[in-house]
Structure 1
Amino acid sequence: MISLVIRSGEVIESYPDDEPCPSRLMLGFIGDRPYHVVLGICTDHLRVITASMPDDEHWTDTRTRRKRE
């Protein structure tokens, strides 16, 4: 199912300075449920770093991270 998010999702944040590879936060939907997947974009492969469902504590909506107070 994560592959569906990777294939059809959208990049909502980029982290070009991540090590060992730059990474991206993707948002995709499986049915009506949103999922976030963080991918490491290495020169010869992709790394799935995390996959989760966005929660109200950290996100105002599925695309907007809450500001830290």
Structure 2
Amino acid sequence: MIDIKQLLIYYENDKIFVTAHATERFRQRGIKVKDIRNAVENGEIIEQYPDDFPYPSCLILGQTKDSRHIHVVMSDEGSSSRIITAYIPSEEKWESDLKTRRRDK
């Protein structure tokens, strides 16, 4: 299981990496890197993906600097982490707590 405290240690040690693809998606979605860091520093892990390939990952619910809710997917690669994606959760896919996925009816 990924521990958010470990992700924060990676931040402190400058061991967080972002792909060019993820950076482009952030730009399209109006999300800044500082928003992602704020979400990790003040958020919580709401889903774990231990079987993700090539490394386990998790979904974090946090807030941007301007108090928008945000979801961040990050890996734990043992000595570093990669930001896989970040997005503003939609009410179509998430319950009002933004932690629970809506079930198809």
Same fold flag (TM > 0.5): yes
- List aligned pairs for 1:1-69, cutoff 5 A: 1-30=35-64, 31-61=66-96, 62-69=98-105
Identity %: 42
Compare the two structures and name the one with the higher strand fraction.
Answer: 1
Q: Which sections of structure 1, spanning at least 5 residues, go unmatched?
A: none
DSSP 3-state at the match of 1:48: strand
Structure 1's consecutive aligned runs of 4 or more residues displaced over 6 angstroms after TM superposition are none
DSSP 3-state at the match of 1:14: strand
- Bigger RCO (CA 8 Å, 6+ sep): 2
**Aligned positions, number:** 69
TM-score normalised by L of structure 2: 0.61
Q: Which sections of structure 2, spanning at least 5 residues, go unmatched?
A: 1-34
TM-score normalised by L of structure 1: 0.90
| Rg comparison, structure with higher value | 2
